[in-house]
Amino acid sequence: MTIDWHLREQARANLRRMVKRVLRKHGYPPDKQETASRTVIEQAELFAQHAAD
């Protein structure tokens, strides 16, 4: 089984966009949005990895 990296990057981009939209909606500081987005993506990847085990 292989991972299609193009689809994986596309999924990351979609997740990042959704996270930033939610952060803006709730008044999260714009200068901290990138860090928060990275944290959420890392957590989602760890969760997916753990769920696959």
Q: Are 1 and 27 in contact (CB under 8 A)?
A: no
DSSP code per residue over 5-18 = HHHHHHHHHHHHHH
The reported pTM is 0.71
Residue 36 phi, psi dihedral angles, 5° rounding: -65, -40
Q: List, for residues 1-53, the tens digit of each pLDDT value.
A: 455 657 788 888 888 899 999 999 999 999 998 999 899 888 888 888 787 77
pLDDT of residue 3: 55
Q: How far is CA 43 from CA 1, 12, in A?
A: 23, 12
DSSP class of 26: T
